[in-house]
Amino acid sequence: MRRVAVIGAGMTRFGERWEEGMRELAVEAGVRALESAGVRGSQIQALYVGNMSGGRFIGQEHIGALAADYLGLNPIPSTRIEAACASGGLAFRQAYLSIAGGEFDLVVAGGIEKMTDVLTGQATTTLGGAADQEWETFFGATFPSIYALMARRHMHEYGTTEEQLAMVAVKNHDNGLKNPYAQFRKKITVEDVLNSSPVATPLKLLDCSPITDGAAAVVLASEEMARKITDDPVWINASAQASDTLALHSRSSFTSIPATRLAAEKAYQKAGIKPKDVDVAEVHDCFTIAEIMAVEDLGFVPKGEGGKAYEEGMFELGSDISVNTSGGLKACGHPVGATGIKQVAEVFWQLRGEAGERQIPDAEIGLTHNVGGSGATVVVHVLSRYPDLRQR
Amino acid sequence: MRRVAVIGAGMTRFGERWEEGMRELAVEAGVRALESAGVRGSQIQALYVGNMSGGRFIGQEHIGALAADYLGLNPIPSTRIEAACASGGLAFRQAYLSIAGGEFDLVVAGGIEKMTDVLTGQATTTLGGAADQEWETFFGATFPSIYALMARRHMHEYGTTEEQLAMVAVKNHDNGLKNPYAQFRKKITVEDVLNSSPVATPLKLLDCSPITDGAAAVVLASEEMARKITDDPVWINASAQASDTLALHSRSSFTSIPATRLAAEKAYQKAGIKPKDVDVAEVHDCFTIAEIMAVEDLGFVPKGEGGKAYEEGMFELGSDISVNTSGGLKACGHPVGATGIKQVAEVFWQLRGEAGERQIPDAEIGLTHNVGGSGATVVVHVLSRYPDLRQR
């Protein structure tokens, strides 16, 4: 299969975007991505769009066609991908496969979600569609409650503390402060997190990612096309996806997400790297416990040592592995269909040295980790400055 | 890119399936497809699932993960594709691309929709998500009304009659009579159609496809894999997709679907055939007028002559081009996410000589035509007994 590069990225400010509907957000992110790549819309050959629940949030399905229409990209193929909160990461993966396999040379992968324009409670109910409707959501389980089970068990098995969970949120808010696209640009303290309202004990309000409107888009190109367009491509060294049971109760452990381990192992193997080679990672911190499990399951620290790592300042901006430099889902915001694409955009900017105030030094290898539901879908990508990491 | 074959197909009975939920239907179709192909689940490397609106119909998104879970296919990648009523066709296309491009060798493409378990009116409202929510659905436009506009204009421009529209339904019911999977196995007459309740004039109840529960699945294989498994593969000679404006009012004509013309032209070119070479076609007859426009836009008859063709008995079972031998959306039923896959399954059976009572003689080349919304997404596939139709 062929090498594929990312050559441009754009996103909207994430947040409560009362003045814009889904189509306006799609256009804002898409046009910025095209401008970033230095290509015209007429050069684009296909569009893949990640969106979780346009049908329930705003009564609109057929999001691929909508995005192509309003971006003026007709009549190229446009395809919506859905895998709950991993929708964006899977849209990126399908775009990658379509170029690597030889069907297209220049493709846009986007992600979008318009979540705030709903009645109280309806967003959480809609997000429940990512879990098992018959065996979890129907009986009242919400995502905070599902991740609270994981947090409680992680605390029981490994001694992880609520303070350690809080440190994840504090770090991500520190990073979000430096990101002009972030929903929350506000410093918080461990005390702020611990004193925030309980949502599903032990998770409190500031342990949870927010409800967000937003869109993000990236431009992918075949090696030949990328070299024609830019001197500064970011290469996709690996793309890997794994599935697991839809319901948490069907798993053998609550403290690990096996699909993360499987996808990561495959991605490291394809890219020819070890976890410690990663310089910058955008991981799926829908809740603070999710980031702690992610850094463990991705192999950045041994299982059970995630909590302690945050006390030691690991994963902060500029450390050996900078995690969630964008602010993560927690501070940058979590428009579910857009998150996986935003992760790629952030890593793209870090690897190009275009991350502004939050730029880390000498970023060479980046990773994105996007989770759907409580871990039924996971997709991991490795990106870098090198077309082949085995030859660096 | 590599050659890809379909080596197995399975589907559920379409209809009101009160005893089964979405996951039971998924398993029923998936297991039948695996049995048809003679492969085990453990050999499958990826799953693509078409579904339009699980979120609104039954509160369940994340349909890819659900299907992999209940089919026992974890941890392979499973991806849901949505493009309204073209979701199944696009899922098949992504599965095709994933093998043609070299990522996988053995993939299941499935489609599913559970539509009947809703309150009165809610199915039509949910289907409105395939149109433009802000400019069509919000103002009360339903799909029957949108296609009624097309029908009225077609009658005005070309003299198409309500009797001719009715003949489409009569033919498809005749075919459905011979299909054990069909929702309606009941002969109807032109008079029955003309006397049925008006839905959106000139379309009457029997001009409209029904609300349906159902699932379908096919197994795709690379050439090397296909030749190992079967002596009787059906080859995918072309896959083509096109987009158009989401809203009907943005188009320059109401009597043609440009994305059908574009996708068909590309498919014919890729496959190296002319429209008249097609022996059997499953086309998107969500309404009777849609089939008339389809046979015109696919080039089976000149524009405007579609209605008359039905008076002459063209497109009946065993004619030069047999159209909708399954009964089509009208009689076989239209579980929207499953329809595009059912179309492939029907063509597969016809080309293999496994279509039972509705088998047409000497079927060599088949075509599937799947439309999303009022034509914003169209996907066309050409399948045949020949790996390369230029060398037949």
> Could you tell me if B108 and B165 lie in one domain?
no
A137 touches chain B (CB under 8 A): yes
Same domain for A39 and A113? yes
Residue range A261-287: average pLDDT? 98
Cβ-nearest to A56 among B55, B66, B74:
B55
Query: Are A189 and A297 in the same domain?
Result: yes
Domain boundary among B229, B259, B281: B229
pLDDT above 90 for B120: no
At B249-296, the pLDDT tens digits run 999 999 999 999 999 999 999 999 999 999 999 999 999 999 999 999
B69 vs A65, A129, A244, A250, CA distance in Å? 29, 15, 7, 10
| A283 within domain boundaries | yes
Together in a domain, B175 and B222 = no
Collapsing DSSP to helix, strand or coil, B388 comes out as coil
A55/B126 CB distance under 8 A: yes
Instruction: Provide the pLDDT for residue A215.
Output: 98
CA dist B203 and B212 (Å) reads: 19
> Cβ separation of B129 and A77 shorter than 8 Å?
no
- What's the rounded Cα separation, in Å, for the pair A311 and B40? 48
pLDDT of residue A355: 98
Its pTM surpasses 0.90: yes
Of B59, B73, B81, which has the smallest distance from its Cβ to A81's Cβ? B81
Put simply, whether B205 touches A (Cβ < 8 Å) is no
Interval B60-88 mean pLDDT: 98
**Interatomic CA distance for residues B376 and A162, integer angstroms:** 50
**Is pLDDT above 90 for A278?**
yes
Determine the average pLDDT of the residues in A337-351: 98
Q: Which residues of B70-92 are buried (b: 16+ CB within 10 A; e: fewer)?
A: bbebbbbbbbbbbbbbbbbbbbb
Q: What is the pLDDT of residues B355-376, one digit of tens each?
A: 999 999 999 999 999 999 999 9
From chain B, the residues in CB contact with A262 under 8 A are 75
Interface probe for B, chosen from A3, A24, A81, A82 (most Cβ of B below 10 Å), is A82
Average of per-residue pLDDT values in chain B: 97
A179/A214 Cα distance (integer angstroms): 14
At B204 the pLDDT is 98
Residue B119 predicted with pLDDT over 90: no
State how far the Cα of A170 lies from the Cα of B252, in Å rounded to an integer: 54
Q: What is the average pLDDT across B119-145?
A: 94
Mean pLDDT of A59-83: 98
Average pLDDT estimate for A318-340: 98
User: Residues B136, B155: contact at Cβ < 8 Å?
Assistant: no
Confidence of residue A86 (pLDDT cuts 50, 70, 90): very high
**What's the rounded mean pLDDT across residues A160-183?**
98
The predicted pLDDT at position B245 comes to: 98
- Asked if residue A121 has pLDDT above 90, the reply is no
Task: Flag whether B127 is in a domain.
Answer: no
From the list A62, A129, A246, the residue facing B130 with the nearest CB is A62
- Band (A2; pLDDT cuts 50, 70, 90): very high
Residues A374 and A343 in one domain: yes
Q: Do residue A313 and residue A180 come from a single domain?
A: yes
How far is it, in rounded angstroms, from Cα B87 to Cα B49? 8
The pLDDT tens digits for A13-37 are 999 999 999 999 999 999 999 999 9
Which of A341, A123, A139 is CA-nearest to residue B55?
A123
The C-alpha of A23 sits at a distance from chain B's nearest C-alpha, in angstroms, of: 10
CATH number of the domain enclosing A107? 3.40.47.10
The answer to whether A80 contacts B83, with C-beta atoms less than 8 Å apart, is yes
- Nearest by CB: A97 against B61, B98, B243: B98
Residues of A in contact with B74 (CB under 8 A): 243-245
Claim to verify: residue B198 and residue B104 sit in the same structural domain: no
Asked whether residue A127 is assigned to any structural domain, the reply reads no
Provide the residue type at B101 as one letter.
G
pLDDT, chain A, mean: 97
Range of the domain at A281: 132-210+236-391
Are A62 and B83 an interchain contact pair (Cβ–Cβ within 8 Å)? yes
Q: Are residues B11 and B46 in the same domain?
A: yes
How many domains in chain B?
2
Q: Does A201 touch chain B (CB under 8 A)?
A: no
- Domain annotation covers residue B124: no
Q: Which residues of A are catalytic?
A: 85, 334
Q: What's the confidence (pLDDT) of residue B121?
A: 84
What percentage of residues in chain A have a pLDDT greater than 70?
A: 100
Residue B129 forms part of a structural domain: no
Indicate the pLDDT class of residue A120, thresholds 50, 70 and 90: confident
Q: Are the beta carbons of B142 and B200 closer than 8 angstroms? A: yes
Q: What's residue B320's pLDDT?
A: 97
Q: A205 and A217 share a domain? A: no
Q: Is A119's pLDDT higher than 90?
A: no
Residues B86 and B170 in one domain: no
The residue of chain A nearest to residue B377, with distances taken between CA atoms, is: A65
B 335-374 near A (Cβ less than 8 A): 372-373
Is B213 touching A (CB cutoff 8 A)?
no
Residues of chain B with pLDDT > 90, as a percent, come to: 99
CB contact under 8 A, B62 and A80: no
Across B118-139, average pLDDT:
94
Cα distance between residue B67 and residue B78, in whole Å: 8
Co-location of B160 and B179 in the same domain: yes
Burial annotation A108-145 (CB, 10 A radius, 16+ → b, else e): bbbbbbbbbebeeeebeebbbbbbbbbebbeeebbbbb
Domain shared by A37 and A184, yes or no:
no
pLDDT bucket at A261, cuts 50 / 70 / 90: very high
Q: Is residue A125 part of a domain?
A: no
Q: Which residues of chain A have a CB within 8 Å of the CB of B1?
A: 101-103
Is ipTM > 0.95 here?
A: yes
Q: Which residues contact A391 (CB under 8 A, 6 or more apart)?
A: none
Each residue of B27-53: pLDDT tens digit? 999 999 999 999 999 999 999 999 999
- Asked if A75 is an interface residue toward chain B (Cβ–Cβ < 8 A), one would say yes
**Mean pLDDT over residues B224-247, rounded?**
98
Which of A229, A262, A289 finishes a domain? A229
Decide which of A177, A199, A229 is a domain's last residue. A229
**Sorting pLDDT into bands at 50, 70 and 90, what band is A370?**
very high
Q: Name the pLDDT band for A147 (thresholds 50, 70, 90).
A: very high
Model confidence band, residue B247 (pLDDT cutoffs 50, 70, 90)? very high
